[in-house]
Amino acid sequence: MKTLVFTQIEDTIKTLDVASISPQRKDVLQPLINFIQEKVDKKEAVLLNFICTHNSRRSHLSQIWAQVMGAYFDIQKVFTYSGGTEATAMFPKVGETLSAQGLEIIPLSDGNNPVYAVKYAENAHPIVAFSKTYDHAFNPTSNFAAVMTCSQADAGCPFIAGTEKRIPITYDDPKAFDGTPQQAEKYKERSLHIATELFYVFSKISK
């Protein structure tokens, strides 16, 4: 049965402008399309681990939007994860931004590294979001693609055990605008940028 994402998420998706993706950027995204297509063709699980330095912003946005787009395009057996070269905490503005774009962010624990359930559909398991290292027990140990979402993590992780493919798809860090009047707008902009590119990626998958 197709997973129906929340109506407000659908509304957000309808605003995404795939035409804004340059040919050069499409070349960057192509290895991820190839990895997903290969797994779909073999009817294998699509395991994607999005990795950034602190697992606090870009890697969470990428993990969550990838799971949403897998459901939106009805691609089966998509399982997304995230991790960092060190664990910190999911930055609160990430949850606020995603909530405004239609996702339901449910705090499960507090403390220095809170755990959240992220719901995107009524009939799907929520994404469990918290900051962790990329090799944390919560994440896959083999047959996954390591998608490097920041250049620092890509340079700092020359080897990731168990990965089947390493794919650098880097994004500018919205952290640069923390505490400024542009903060909310820049987090919204980065989230939609990531959503747009992942919409494009999953739109290219033949079932």
Tell me what pLDDT residue 167 has.
97
pLDDT at 153 over 80: no
For the segment 73-93, what is each residue's pLDDT rounded down to a tens digit? Answer: 999 999 999 999 999 999 999
Phi first, then psi: what are they for 163, rounded to 5°?
-70, 140
Average pLDDT over residues 188-197: 98
DSSP notation for 101-133: TT-EEEEEE-SSS-EEEEESBTTSPPEEE---B
Percent of the chain with pLDDT over 70: 100
For the cut 80, the answer to whether the pLDDT of residue 131 exceeds it is: yes
pLDDT tens digits, one per residue of 165-179 = 999 999 999 999 999
Would the pLDDT of 1 be above 80? no
CATH level 3 topology of 7-14+25-170: Rossmann fold (3.40.50)
Domain ranges, ordered by start, for the chain: 7-14+25-170
| 127-132 mean pLDDT | 98
Q: In sequence order, what are the beta bridge partners of 114?
A: none
- Percent of the chain exceeding pLDDT 90 equals 94
pLDDT of residue 151: 82
Q: Which two tokens stand for residue 96?
A: 């606020």
What is the spatial distance between Cα 144 and Cα 60, in angstroms, rounded to a whole number? Answer: 17
- Which residues are CB-contacts of 61 (< 8 A; sequence separation ≥ 6)? 94, 97, 98, 190, 191, 194
